[in-house]
Amino acid sequence: MRPMRDFALEAYMSKWEFVAKYNMTGSDAESLRLPALLDMASEAERADFENLSLGYTETFGAPALRQEIAATYDRVTPENLLCFAGAEEAIYIAMKVLLTADDHAIVVTPNYQAAETIPLSICEVTGVALEIDNHWNLDIGQIEAAIRPNTKLISINFPNNPTGKIISQDTFNALVALCRKHGIWLFSDEVYRLIEKDETLRLPQAVDVYERGISLNVMSKAYGLPGLRIGWLACKDRDFLVRCERYKHFLSICNSAPSEVLARIALKNRDRILSRTRAIVRDNIGQLNAFFAEFPHLFDWREPDGGCVAFIRYKGADGVEAFTRRLVEEAGVFFLPSSVYRSDLTPVPQDCLRVGFGRLHVPEGITALRNWLTRNGA
Protein backbone atom coordinates (compact mmCIF):
# COMPACT_ATOMS: atom_id res chain seq x y z
CA MET A 1 0.00 0.00 0.00
CA ARG A 2 1.28 3.48 -0.86
CA PRO A 3 -0.11 7.03 -0.88
CA MET A 4 -1.78 8.05 -4.13
CA ARG A 5 0.52 10.29 -6.15
CA ASP A 6 -0.76 13.29 -8.07
CA PHE A 7 -2.68 12.46 -11.23
CA ALA A 8 0.02 13.55 -13.70
CA LEU A 9 -2.19 13.53 -16.79
CA GLU A 10 -4.98 15.56 -15.22
CA ALA A 11 -2.52 18.05 -13.71
CA TYR A 12 -0.91 18.56 -17.13
CA MET A 13 -4.30 18.83 -18.82
CA SER A 14 -5.50 21.43 -16.33
CA LYS A 15 -2.57 23.66 -17.30
CA TRP A 16 -3.12 23.59 -21.06
CA GLU A 17 -6.48 22.06 -22.02
CA PHE A 18 -8.47 25.29 -21.93
CA VAL A 19 -5.79 27.74 -23.06
CA ALA A 20 -4.13 25.93 -25.99
CA LYS A 21 -5.65 26.95 -29.31
CA TYR A 22 -5.41 23.47 -30.82
CA ASN A 23 -6.01 20.58 -28.45
CA MET A 24 -4.44 17.78 -30.47
CA THR A 25 -4.36 15.37 -27.54
CA GLY A 26 -7.99 15.32 -26.38
CA SER A 27 -9.28 11.87 -25.45
CA ASP A 28 -12.95 12.43 -26.29
CA ALA A 29 -15.03 12.81 -29.42
CA GLU A 30 -16.39 16.18 -30.55
CA SER A 31 -19.06 17.27 -28.11
CA LEU A 32 -22.63 18.04 -29.08
CA ARG A 33 -24.19 21.33 -28.05
CA LEU A 34 -27.33 21.21 -25.96
CA PRO A 35 -29.71 22.38 -28.73
CA ALA A 36 -28.38 19.69 -31.08
CA LEU A 37 -28.98 16.98 -28.50
CA LEU A 38 -32.46 18.27 -27.64
CA ASP A 39 -33.33 18.31 -31.34
CA MET A 40 -32.97 14.51 -31.21
CA ALA A 41 -35.48 14.22 -28.35
CA SER A 42 -39.11 13.23 -28.71
CA GLU A 43 -41.73 15.69 -27.51
CA ALA A 44 -42.14 13.65 -24.32
CA GLU A 45 -38.38 13.60 -23.67
CA ARG A 46 -38.09 17.33 -24.25
CA ALA A 47 -40.96 17.86 -21.82
CA ASP A 48 -39.20 15.64 -19.29
CA PHE A 49 -36.14 17.85 -19.55
CA GLU A 50 -37.92 21.20 -19.49
CA ASN A 51 -40.22 20.27 -16.57
CA LEU A 52 -37.60 18.42 -14.57
CA SER A 53 -37.52 18.69 -10.80
CA LEU A 54 -34.00 19.64 -9.73
CA GLY A 55 -34.02 17.38 -6.72
CA TYR A 56 -32.06 14.30 -5.75
CA THR A 57 -32.17 11.25 -8.00
CA GLU A 58 -31.93 7.53 -7.27
CA THR A 59 -28.46 6.47 -6.17
CA PHE A 60 -28.34 3.60 -8.67
CA GLY A 61 -29.38 5.97 -11.47
CA ALA A 62 -32.78 6.79 -12.89
CA PRO A 63 -34.62 3.60 -13.95
CA ALA A 64 -35.33 5.00 -17.42
CA LEU A 65 -31.64 5.77 -17.90
CA ARG A 66 -30.54 2.33 -16.74
CA GLN A 67 -33.06 0.80 -19.14
CA GLU A 68 -31.38 2.59 -22.04
CA ILE A 69 -27.89 1.65 -20.82
CA ALA A 70 -28.93 -2.01 -20.50
CA ALA A 71 -29.93 -1.97 -24.17
CA THR A 72 -26.27 -1.38 -25.11
CA TYR A 73 -25.36 -4.85 -23.77
CA ASP A 74 -26.29 -8.37 -24.83
CA ARG A 75 -27.04 -9.87 -21.41
CA VAL A 76 -27.53 -7.00 -18.99
CA THR A 77 -30.67 -5.80 -17.20
CA PRO A 78 -31.14 -2.48 -15.35
CA GLU A 79 -30.52 -4.38 -12.09
CA ASN A 80 -26.99 -5.13 -13.32
CA LEU A 81 -26.11 -1.42 -13.54
CA LEU A 82 -24.94 1.33 -11.20
CA CYS A 83 -24.43 4.89 -12.45
CA PHE A 84 -21.70 7.29 -11.33
CA ALA A 85 -20.52 10.86 -11.78
CA GLY A 86 -18.28 9.92 -14.71
CA ALA A 87 -15.92 6.97 -15.10
CA GLU A 88 -13.36 8.15 -12.54
CA GLU A 89 -15.73 7.75 -9.60
CA ALA A 90 -16.63 4.28 -10.87
CA ILE A 91 -12.96 3.21 -11.04
CA TYR A 92 -12.26 4.58 -7.58
CA ILE A 93 -15.23 2.90 -5.93
CA ALA A 94 -14.81 -0.45 -7.70
CA MET A 95 -11.19 -0.74 -6.60
CA LYS A 96 -12.01 0.29 -3.01
CA VAL A 97 -14.84 -2.23 -2.82
CA LEU A 98 -13.08 -5.18 -4.45
CA LEU A 99 -9.55 -4.94 -3.08
CA THR A 100 -8.09 -5.27 0.41
CA ALA A 101 -4.54 -5.05 1.72
CA ASP A 102 -4.24 -8.84 1.50
CA ASP A 103 -5.07 -8.95 -2.23
CA HIS A 104 -3.02 -8.68 -5.42
CA ALA A 105 -4.04 -7.04 -8.69
CA ILE A 106 -2.68 -7.12 -12.25
CA VAL A 107 -2.91 -3.97 -14.37
CA VAL A 108 -2.05 -3.54 -18.04
CA THR A 109 0.19 -0.57 -18.90
CA PRO A 110 0.31 2.07 -20.26
CA ASN A 111 -3.02 3.19 -18.91
CA TYR A 112 -5.22 5.93 -17.55
CA GLN A 113 -3.33 6.49 -14.31
CA ALA A 114 -6.28 5.79 -12.00
CA ALA A 115 -6.20 2.17 -13.16
CA GLU A 116 -2.95 1.60 -11.27
CA THR A 117 -2.68 4.41 -8.72
CA ILE A 118 -5.89 3.50 -6.89
CA PRO A 119 -5.11 -0.25 -6.60
CA LEU A 120 -1.56 0.60 -5.51
CA SER A 121 -2.99 2.59 -2.61
CA ILE A 122 -4.71 -0.59 -1.42
CA CYS A 123 -2.60 -3.67 -2.18
CA GLU A 124 0.27 -5.14 -4.18
CA VAL A 125 -0.03 -4.65 -7.94
CA THR A 126 1.87 -6.16 -10.87
CA GLY A 127 2.01 -4.41 -14.21
CA VAL A 128 2.05 -6.15 -17.58
CA ALA A 129 3.12 -3.86 -20.41
CA LEU A 130 1.84 -3.60 -23.95
CA GLU A 131 4.94 -3.80 -26.15
CA ILE A 132 5.51 -0.84 -28.46
CA ASP A 133 7.96 -2.75 -30.67
CA ASN A 134 5.40 -5.54 -31.07
CA HIS A 135 2.53 -3.31 -32.20
CA TRP A 136 1.43 -2.80 -28.58
CA ASN A 137 0.43 -6.48 -28.31
CA LEU A 138 -0.37 -8.06 -24.95
CA ASP A 139 1.55 -11.20 -23.99
CA ILE A 140 -1.02 -13.44 -22.31
CA GLY A 141 1.85 -15.54 -20.97
CA GLN A 142 3.01 -12.57 -18.90
CA ILE A 143 -0.47 -12.21 -17.46
CA GLU A 144 -0.52 -15.89 -16.53
CA ALA A 145 2.93 -15.68 -14.99
CA ALA A 146 1.88 -12.71 -12.85
CA ILE A 147 -1.07 -14.51 -11.25
CA ARG A 148 -0.63 -15.32 -7.56
CA PRO A 149 -2.82 -17.30 -5.14
CA ASN A 150 -4.21 -13.99 -3.83
CA THR A 151 -4.75 -12.30 -7.20
CA LYS A 152 -8.21 -10.75 -6.97
CA LEU A 153 -8.46 -8.60 -10.10
CA ILE A 154 -7.07 -8.03 -13.59
CA SER A 155 -7.64 -4.55 -15.05
CA ILE A 156 -7.68 -3.96 -18.82
CA ASN A 157 -8.63 -1.14 -21.20
CA PHE A 158 -9.31 -1.84 -24.89
CA PRO A 159 -9.36 0.12 -27.13
CA ASN A 160 -6.48 1.30 -24.98
CA ASN A 161 -5.76 4.79 -23.74
CA PRO A 162 -3.24 5.97 -24.85
CA THR A 163 -2.19 3.50 -27.57
CA GLY A 164 -5.48 2.77 -29.36
CA LYS A 165 -4.61 -0.93 -29.25
CA ILE A 166 -7.29 -3.63 -29.39
CA ILE A 167 -6.12 -7.13 -28.49
CA SER A 168 -7.24 -10.03 -30.65
CA GLN A 169 -10.40 -11.99 -29.93
CA ASP A 170 -8.24 -15.04 -29.19
CA THR A 171 -6.18 -13.11 -26.63
CA PHE A 172 -9.33 -11.75 -25.01
CA ASN A 173 -10.84 -15.23 -24.83
CA ALA A 174 -7.66 -16.58 -23.26
CA LEU A 175 -7.76 -13.78 -20.69
CA VAL A 176 -11.35 -14.59 -19.76
CA ALA A 177 -10.45 -18.27 -19.49
CA LEU A 178 -7.56 -17.43 -17.15
CA CYS A 179 -9.81 -15.31 -14.96
CA ARG A 180 -12.46 -18.04 -14.84
CA LYS A 181 -9.90 -20.71 -13.99
CA HIS A 182 -8.58 -18.73 -11.02
CA GLY A 183 -11.81 -16.99 -9.95
CA ILE A 184 -10.36 -13.53 -10.73
CA TRP A 185 -12.46 -10.45 -11.38
CA LEU A 186 -11.95 -8.89 -14.84
CA PHE A 187 -12.32 -5.11 -14.71
CA SER A 188 -12.71 -3.96 -18.31
CA ASP A 189 -12.57 -0.26 -19.20
CA GLU A 190 -14.61 -0.11 -22.43
CA VAL A 191 -15.06 3.64 -22.84
CA TYR A 192 -13.71 3.65 -26.43
CA ARG A 193 -15.68 0.65 -27.61
CA LEU A 194 -17.79 1.21 -30.77
CA ILE A 195 -15.25 3.49 -32.49
CA GLU A 196 -12.98 0.79 -33.88
CA LYS A 197 -11.07 1.19 -37.14
CA ASP A 198 -12.72 -2.01 -38.33
CA GLU A 199 -15.86 -3.44 -36.75
CA THR A 200 -14.34 -6.93 -36.93
CA LEU A 201 -11.83 -5.83 -34.26
CA ARG A 202 -14.59 -5.10 -31.74
CA LEU A 203 -14.32 -7.11 -28.53
CA PRO A 204 -17.29 -8.34 -26.51
CA GLN A 205 -18.11 -6.52 -23.31
CA ALA A 206 -16.69 -8.36 -20.31
CA VAL A 207 -20.00 -8.44 -18.43
CA ASP A 208 -21.67 -10.19 -21.36
CA VAL A 209 -19.22 -13.10 -21.48
CA TYR A 210 -17.91 -13.61 -17.94
CA GLU A 211 -19.74 -14.01 -14.65
CA ARG A 212 -17.08 -11.98 -12.83
CA GLY A 213 -16.72 -9.41 -15.59
CA ILE A 214 -17.13 -5.74 -14.71
CA SER A 215 -17.65 -3.41 -17.66
CA LEU A 216 -16.97 0.30 -17.31
CA ASN A 217 -18.43 2.85 -19.70
CA VAL A 218 -19.27 6.53 -19.82
CA MET A 219 -20.98 9.17 -21.95
CA SER A 220 -17.69 11.10 -22.23
CA LYS A 221 -15.66 9.35 -24.92
CA ALA A 222 -17.41 7.64 -27.84
CA TYR A 223 -20.58 9.67 -27.26
CA GLY A 224 -18.67 12.94 -26.89
CA LEU A 225 -20.66 14.15 -23.87
CA PRO A 226 -18.15 14.53 -21.00
CA GLY A 227 -20.02 17.51 -19.58
CA LEU A 228 -22.87 15.24 -18.55
CA ARG A 229 -20.62 13.39 -16.05
CA ILE A 230 -22.55 10.15 -16.46
CA GLY A 231 -20.70 6.84 -16.25
CA TRP A 232 -21.63 3.34 -15.10
CA LEU A 233 -20.53 -0.13 -14.11
CA ALA A 234 -22.24 -3.23 -15.46
CA CYS A 235 -21.87 -6.43 -13.44
CA LYS A 236 -23.95 -9.57 -12.86
CA ASP A 237 -22.96 -9.71 -9.17
CA ARG A 238 -25.67 -7.73 -7.40
CA ASP A 239 -23.86 -7.84 -4.06
CA PHE A 240 -20.85 -6.09 -5.61
CA LEU A 241 -23.07 -3.34 -7.03
CA VAL A 242 -24.84 -2.82 -3.72
CA ARG A 243 -21.49 -2.47 -1.95
CA CYS A 244 -20.45 0.08 -4.57
CA GLU A 245 -23.72 1.95 -4.08
CA ARG A 246 -23.06 2.15 -0.34
CA TYR A 247 -19.61 3.58 -1.05
CA LYS A 248 -21.13 6.10 -3.46
CA HIS A 249 -23.10 7.52 -0.52
CA PHE A 250 -19.82 9.05 0.68
CA LEU A 251 -18.99 10.63 -2.70
CA SER A 252 -21.49 11.93 -5.27
CA ILE A 253 -24.53 10.24 -3.60
CA CYS A 254 -26.45 10.50 -6.88
CA ASN A 255 -26.12 11.79 -10.41
CA SER A 256 -27.27 15.11 -11.84
CA ALA A 257 -30.96 14.92 -12.74
CA PRO A 258 -30.63 17.00 -15.96
CA SER A 259 -27.64 14.91 -17.03
CA GLU A 260 -29.59 11.70 -16.57
CA VAL A 261 -32.36 12.89 -18.89
CA LEU A 262 -29.87 14.14 -21.49
CA ALA A 263 -27.89 10.89 -21.34
CA ARG A 264 -31.10 8.94 -21.90
CA ILE A 265 -31.87 11.05 -24.99
CA ALA A 266 -28.34 10.48 -26.29
CA LEU A 267 -28.49 6.73 -25.76
CA LYS A 268 -31.82 6.50 -27.57
CA ASN A 269 -30.08 8.19 -30.49
CA ARG A 270 -26.78 6.36 -30.07
CA ASP A 271 -26.59 5.09 -33.65
CA ARG A 272 -26.79 8.65 -34.97
CA ILE A 273 -24.29 10.00 -32.45
CA LEU A 274 -21.82 7.15 -32.93
CA SER A 275 -22.03 7.49 -36.73
CA ARG A 276 -21.05 11.14 -36.31
CA THR A 277 -18.14 10.21 -34.04
CA ARG A 278 -16.88 7.53 -36.43
CA ALA A 279 -17.07 9.93 -39.39
CA ILE A 280 -15.02 12.57 -37.55
CA VAL A 281 -12.42 10.00 -36.48
CA ARG A 282 -12.23 8.49 -39.96
CA ASP A 283 -11.73 11.89 -41.61
CA ASN A 284 -9.11 12.94 -39.08
CA ILE A 285 -7.21 9.66 -39.44
CA GLY A 286 -6.99 10.35 -43.17
CA GLN A 287 -5.56 13.81 -42.47
CA LEU A 288 -3.06 12.42 -39.95
CA ASN A 289 -1.94 9.67 -42.32
CA ALA A 290 -1.11 12.33 -44.91
CA PHE A 291 0.58 14.64 -42.42
CA PHE A 292 2.81 12.04 -40.79
CA ALA A 293 3.84 10.74 -44.22
CA GLU A 294 5.47 14.18 -44.72
CA PHE A 295 7.55 13.87 -41.53
CA PRO A 296 8.66 10.23 -41.14
CA HIS A 297 12.00 11.43 -39.77
CA LEU A 298 10.21 13.00 -36.80
CA PHE A 299 7.25 10.74 -36.02
CA ASP A 300 6.67 7.00 -35.96
CA TRP A 301 2.95 7.09 -36.71
CA ARG A 302 0.94 3.90 -36.54
CA GLU A 303 -2.76 4.09 -37.23
CA PRO A 304 -4.43 2.70 -34.07
CA ASP A 305 -7.01 -0.08 -33.94
CA GLY A 306 -9.70 1.95 -32.25
CA GLY A 307 -10.66 4.84 -30.02
CA CYS A 308 -9.63 8.40 -30.78
CA VAL A 309 -6.10 8.52 -29.33
CA ALA A 310 -2.72 7.11 -30.33
CA PHE A 311 0.67 6.98 -28.58
CA ILE A 312 3.45 7.53 -31.10
CA ARG A 313 7.21 7.95 -31.03
CA TYR A 314 8.76 11.37 -31.52
CA LYS A 315 12.22 10.98 -33.08
CA GLY A 316 13.49 14.57 -32.92
CA ALA A 317 16.86 15.26 -31.30
CA ASP A 318 15.31 17.73 -28.83
CA GLY A 319 13.27 14.99 -27.14
CA VAL A 320 9.54 14.73 -26.68
CA GLU A 321 9.30 16.73 -23.46
CA ALA A 322 11.03 19.80 -24.94
CA PHE A 323 9.18 19.40 -28.23
CA THR A 324 5.70 19.31 -26.71
CA ARG A 325 6.48 22.22 -24.38
CA ARG A 326 7.80 24.48 -27.16
CA LEU A 327 4.97 23.51 -29.47
CA VAL A 328 2.19 24.49 -27.09
CA GLU A 329 3.96 27.66 -25.94
CA GLU A 330 4.89 28.91 -29.44
CA ALA A 331 2.11 27.56 -31.65
CA GLY A 332 -0.74 26.73 -29.28
CA VAL A 333 -0.66 23.06 -30.42
CA PHE A 334 -1.11 20.76 -27.44
CA PHE A 335 0.12 17.16 -27.15
CA LEU A 336 0.65 15.05 -24.03
CA PRO A 337 4.26 13.83 -23.59
CA SER A 338 5.39 10.47 -22.23
CA SER A 339 6.03 11.84 -18.75
CA VAL A 340 2.32 12.02 -17.95
CA TYR A 341 2.06 8.29 -18.62
CA ARG A 342 4.84 7.32 -16.23
CA SER A 343 3.94 4.09 -14.50
CA ASP A 344 4.93 2.83 -11.07
CA LEU A 345 4.55 -0.71 -12.40
CA THR A 346 6.48 -0.99 -15.68
CA PRO A 347 8.70 1.15 -17.88
CA VAL A 348 6.74 3.25 -20.39
CA PRO A 349 8.51 4.50 -23.54
CA GLN A 350 9.88 7.96 -22.80
CA ASP A 351 9.88 9.22 -26.38
CA CYS A 352 6.14 9.15 -27.12
CA LEU A 353 3.32 11.65 -27.30
CA ARG A 354 -0.44 11.18 -27.30
CA VAL A 355 -2.33 12.31 -30.38
CA GLY A 356 -6.08 12.88 -30.06
CA PHE A 357 -8.22 12.87 -33.20
CA GLY A 358 -11.84 12.96 -32.10
CA ARG A 359 -12.33 16.72 -32.46
CA LEU A 360 -13.45 18.73 -35.48
CA HIS A 361 -10.53 21.17 -35.23
CA VAL A 362 -7.87 18.49 -35.86
CA PRO A 363 -7.28 19.62 -39.49
CA GLU A 364 -6.64 23.18 -38.28
CA GLY A 365 -4.26 21.84 -35.64
CA ILE A 366 -2.40 19.86 -38.29
CA THR A 367 -1.97 23.01 -40.36
CA ALA A 368 -0.64 24.92 -37.35
CA LEU A 369 1.73 22.06 -36.52
CA ARG A 370 2.99 21.82 -40.11
CA ASN A 371 3.59 25.59 -40.25
CA TRP A 372 5.50 25.53 -36.96
CA LEU A 373 7.68 22.63 -38.08
CA THR A 374 8.39 24.37 -41.38
CA ARG A 375 9.37 27.60 -39.63
CA ASN A 376 11.72 25.65 -37.44
CA GLY A 377 13.43 23.86 -40.33
CA ALA A 378 11.96 20.38 -39.80
In a shared domain, residues 198 and 324: no
370 in a domain, yes or no? yes
38 in a domain, yes or no? no
In a shared domain, residues 192 and 296: no
Per-residue pLDDT at 356: 98
In a shared domain, residues 24 and 165: no
Per-residue pLDDT at 134: 95
Q: Are 110 and 343 a contacting pair, CB within 8 Å? A: yes
Which of 268, 298, 313 represents a domain boundary (last residue)?
A: 268
Number of domains in the chain: 2
73 in a domain, yes or no? yes
In a shared domain, residues 204 and 279: no
Q: Are 165 and 159 a contacting pair, CB within 8 Å? A: yes
Q: Are 152 and 105 a contacting pair, CB within 8 Å? A: yes
45 in a domain, yes or no? no
CA distance 75 to 65: 17
In a shared domain, residues 344 and 308: yes
Tell me, what CATH number does 281's domain have? 3.90.1150.10
Tell me, what CATH number does 86's domain have? 3.40.640.10
In a shared domain, residues 200 and 178: yes
**3 state DSSP class of 370:** helix
Per-residue pLDDT at 126: 98
41 in a domain, yes or no? no
Per-residue pLDDT at 378: 82
156 in a domain, yes or no? yes
Helix axes 270-294, 362-375, angle to 10 degrees: 10
2 in a domain, yes or no? no
Residue 270: Cβ-neighbour burial (10 angstroms; 0-12, 13-18, 19+) = middle
Q: Which DSSP string do the residues of 224-239 spell out, in sequence order? A: --GGG--EEEEES-HH
Per-residue pLDDT at 74: 98
In a shared domain, residues 66 and 21: no
In a shared domain, residues 338 and 224: no
Which of 234, 268, 302 represents a domain boundary (last residue)?
A: 268
Per-residue pLDDT at 278: 98
In a shared domain, residues 92 and 143: yes
In a shared domain, residues 262 and 308: no
Provide the residue range defining the domain that includes 298: 8-33+271-375
pLDDT tens sequence for the chain (378 residues): 688 999 999 999 999 999 999 999 999 999 999 999 999 999 999 999 999 999 999 999 999 999 999 999 999 999 999 999 999 999 999 999 999 999 999 999 999 999 999 999 999 999 999 999 999 999 999 999 999 999 999 999 999 999 999 999 999 999 999 999 999 999 999 999 999 999 999 999 999 999 999 999 999 999 999 999 999 999 999 999 999 999 999 999 999 999 999 999 999 999 999 999 999 999 999 999 999 999 999 999 999 999 999 999 999 999 999 999 999 999 999 999 999 999 999 999 999 999 999 999 999 999 999 999 999 988
Per-residue pLDDT at 232: 98
117 in a domain, yes or no? yes
Which of 235, 268, 301 represents a domain boundary (last residue)?
A: 268
**Is the whole model's pTM more than 0.85, yes or no?**
yes
In a shared domain, residues 84 and 154: yes
Per-residue pLDDT at 287: 98
Q: What one-letter code names the amino acid at 126?
A: T
In a shared domain, residues 235 and 141: yes
Terminal alpha carbon distance of the chain: 46
Q: Are 174 and 144 a contacting pair, CB within 8 Å? A: no
